[in-house]
Amino acid sequence: MDMPISSMMAKETKTVAMDDTISHVEEVLHTNNLSALPVIGRAEDVVFGIISTRDLMRFHVEKRDPTVVRAWEICSYKPVEVGPDVSINQVARLMVTKGIHHVLITENKEILGIVSALDFVKKFIQDDV
């Protein structure tokens, strides 16, 4: 698996703004069957953070109001970003080392895609068949 990570990333990446409500974030996740979304900062195209279904589970345990709380308040700040030419092996090791489930693929501050731990499982199954 020495191929570039760009070969397995989800290329059509949805995003949310840092001031979007949690209700809106959940709608985008549900509508697009996603497990995480990059959170974009006020400065155009600057990645502020990433919000995942795990973040949302913690949020709901706290019984906070999803129509009032904003994405920036519960997202993970400064998500891990790698370039499109980084190898699949390097990204896998990075995810395990840092204990993360999502990595953003970026180039010149532009989001090209996202890779999740589930993408690695799918790749493993596909290569095994």
User: Which CATH number do you get for residue 25?
Assistant: 3.10.580.10
- Count of structural domains within the chain: 1
Contact between 48 and 40 (Cβ < 8 Å):
yes
Distances in Å between the Cα of 74 and the Cα atoms of 1, 8, 14, 23, 58 are: 34, 28, 18, 13, 9
Q: Is the pLDDT of residue 3 over 80?
A: yes
Q: Encode pLDDT of 63-111 as tens digits.
A: 889 999 999 999 999 899 999 999 999 999 999 999 999 999 998 888 8
Taking only Cα atoms into account, the Rg of the chain, rounded to an integer number of angstroms, comes to: 15
Instruction: Kindly list the distances between the CA atom of residue 16 and the CA atoms of 10, 73, 123, in Å, as whole numbers in the listed order.
Output: 16, 13, 27
Find residue 105's DSSP bridge partners: 82, 113
Tell me the per-residue pLDDT of 30-69, one tens digit each, with 9 for 90 and over: 999 899 999 998 776 688 999 999 999 999 999 889 999 9
